[in-house]
Amino acid sequence: MQTAIFLIFFLIMIIPVSRYIFMVSQKKATVLDPFMDRVDGGILRLSGISHEPMTWFEYGRAMILTNLAMMAAGYLILRLQSFLPVNPNGASGMSPDLAFNTAISFITNTNLQHYPGETGISYLSQMTVIIFMMFTSAASGYSVCLAFIRGITGQESLGNFYEDIVRVTTRILIPFSVLGGLILISQGVPQNFSQNLTVHTIAGKLQDIAMGPIASLEIIKHLGTNGGGFMGANSSSPLENPTVMTNMIEMLSMMLIPGSLVLTFGHMADETRKRRKSSVKKTFFSEAFPVFTVMAVIFLTGALLLTTSEFKGNPVFADAGLTSTANMEGKELRFGIEQSALFSNVTTSFTTGSVNNMHDSLTPLGGGVAMMNMMMNMVFGGKGVGLMNMLIYVILTVFICGLMIGRTPEYLGKKIEKKEMMFTALAIIVHPLLILAFSAIAVTSSGGLDGITATSHHGLSQVLYEYASSAANNGSGFEGLKDNTFFWNVTTGVVMFLGRFLPILLQLAVAGSLWRKKFINESEGSLKTATVTFTVSLLIVVVIFSALTFMPALVLGPLSGHILLWR
């Protein structure tokens, strides 16, 4: 009942938010325009930015160069933070490989943390590197997603990256963050610049309590599907996530914009249809229906499997005659199984990476579900990338179905031909190639093997999870891995960088190619994509391709662990 009410509330919220994102992306009038028009205009004038529409290559180049510049600045700040102000706890400068990993991690929206949050980073670095990149990396992803949607729906142009990133930041991320941050503060999340407190506990011991700008980081960490915590314990810490209310807010924050973007896609497709005066009558949700339905089915299946596996726990407990066999290891009592399992499914489905329980302590099947969510990287996903990945699979499904029924494959009035399929195939291949290739390197090299702390199947799961998290720009980890070493810092840094920018460029190439094509008149003989039949076909294609790609690795890792646990 608790989960059902939560999901119903999510469905209600994304309807108005999707409309608002659509209005922002299409430069239509919104309530914030009188003030934000001046702010946006001032930023663009100060930056000397051209307002001219960009080609897909210009858009991708602007996005990558802008992110590289921010990454270089972040690297320098992390290296020099011990000499910079606003460092009351005396954090030392990061080593070259750790700074390399951290700068890439946060500019790619991964937020993989190989450093201790409480002591490894200064307040200045938290604000100018971590929180700043949480905004810009999320805005970059959402901007690219909007350009991709414009391309495949046949809008007038793909847009301008600089305009898009400014508008997404000032009109979506900042207003939502201010509102959400105030709610978190009201629930007890700290927001200050004080140094850590050392207090006497009732047990007569001394304990350090972290202070700092926690609430401002916490809200954009979830709204931007970032995931990096102010503290090493992330959202399992009562300072980042003190109550069940904040737990719900943080989950909704993760889900809000990615879920809304699916409906925004429907709005854009409907706008193009109306502009073309198509005779085929459809609602704004028509084209979004198969995408949203497949995402929801996979998400709910994962939530059911993960929750059930954690409630069943370890059979050794049952053999010992214990009344409760639920796996509470690594979980907070204030959240319990339901809130912990749902959070784990949400954070890996929406590729956020924050955790309110330790995923290394999940049952093998529970950890496998979280891992599979990242391996698919399309179950809503984060920062717009999940929708783009799913739409790539939609194009693949259209191509397959078109060939099966003897019709020219077309989607939204555009022909799907050799060039689009070449880019589509490459975009699909990149993600599993990075995960499996680097996992193979890790388990066959001394540098990789030295970081593995578990034996047998769970040790392989640690490796697979780390690279799946890096390639999917998720950032969560099994945390049993000793990852702050030169090998793991460099290899995961490379995977995060390639896993972020290679698929984006290939997806923009698909959008740019389709955008340049002329529309084909729709008729009753055209392949219908807003149907139950196509939705089932899309689900089958997604499952088959994911299963064929990752099943051998999953069998050797979490599935074998699950079988051995219950044999």
pLDDT tens track for 176-233: 999 999 999 999 999 998 888 899 999 999 988 888 889 999 999 999 999 998 888 9
Of the candidates 467, 460, 434, which has an alpha carbon nearest to the alpha carbon of residue 554?
460
Give which of 153, 168, 264, 266 is closest to 511, Cα–Cα: 153
99-108, 288-297, 442-451, 544-553 — which is least confidently predicted? 544-553
pLDDT for the residue 383:
84
* DSSP code at position 207: E
* pLDDT score for 80: 96
Q: pLDDT tens digits for 255-300?
A: 999 999 999 999 999 888 887 766 555 555 688 999 999 999 999 9
Q: How much is the pLDDT for 523?
A: 65
Which range (105-109, 344-348, 475-479, 482-486) has the least confidence? 475-479
Parallel, antiparallel or unpaired: strands 197-200 and 206-209: antiparallel
Instruction: Please give the share of the chain, as a percent, with pLDDT higher than 90.
Output: 75
Looking at residue 282, its pLDDT comes to 59
DSSP 16-80: HHHHHHHHHHTT---TTHHHHHHHHHHHHHHHT-------HHHHHHHHHHHHHHHHHHHHHHHHH
Model confidence at 399, in pLDDT bands (50, 70, 90)? very high
CA gap 174, 33 in Å, rounded: 14
Q: How far apart are CA 334 and CA 377, in angstroms?
A: 30
pLDDT at 555 over 60: yes
What does the pLDDT look like over 231-254, one tens digit per residue?
889 999 999 999 999 999 999 999
Answer yes or no: is pLDDT of 468 > 80.
yes
Task: Give me the pLDDT at residue 564, please.
Answer: 85
pLDDT-based confidence at residue 317 (cuts at 50, 70, 90) = low
Q: What pLDDT does residue 278 have?
A: 61
Mean pLDDT lowest for which of 49-53, 74-78, 294-298, 519-523? 519-523
Residues in the chain, overall count: 567
* pLDDT above 70 coverage of the chain, percent: 96
Q: How confident is the model at residue 316 (pLDDT cuts 50, 70, 90)?
A: low
Please tell me the distance from the alpha carbon of residue 374 to that of residue 109, in angstroms, as a whole number.
14
Q: 460 falls in which pLDDT band (50, 70, 90)?
A: very high
From residue 304, give the alpha-carbon distance in Å to each of 296, 307, 538, 558: 12, 5, 21, 17
Query: Residue 321's pLDDT is what?
Result: 59
Cα–Cα distance for residue pair 267/437, rounded to 1 Å: 39
**Poorest-confidence range of 181-185, 302-306, 324-328, 548-552?**
324-328
Which whole-number Å values give the CA distances from 29 to 33, 171, 270, in the listed order?
A: 7, 12, 18
d(CA 262, CA 285): 9
Res 232: pLDDT: 85
Mean pLDDT taken over the chain: 91
Cβ contacts of 45 within 8 Å, gap of 6 or more: none
Question: What's this model's pTM, rounded to 2 decimal places?
Answer: 0.93
pLDDT at 135 (0 to 100): 96
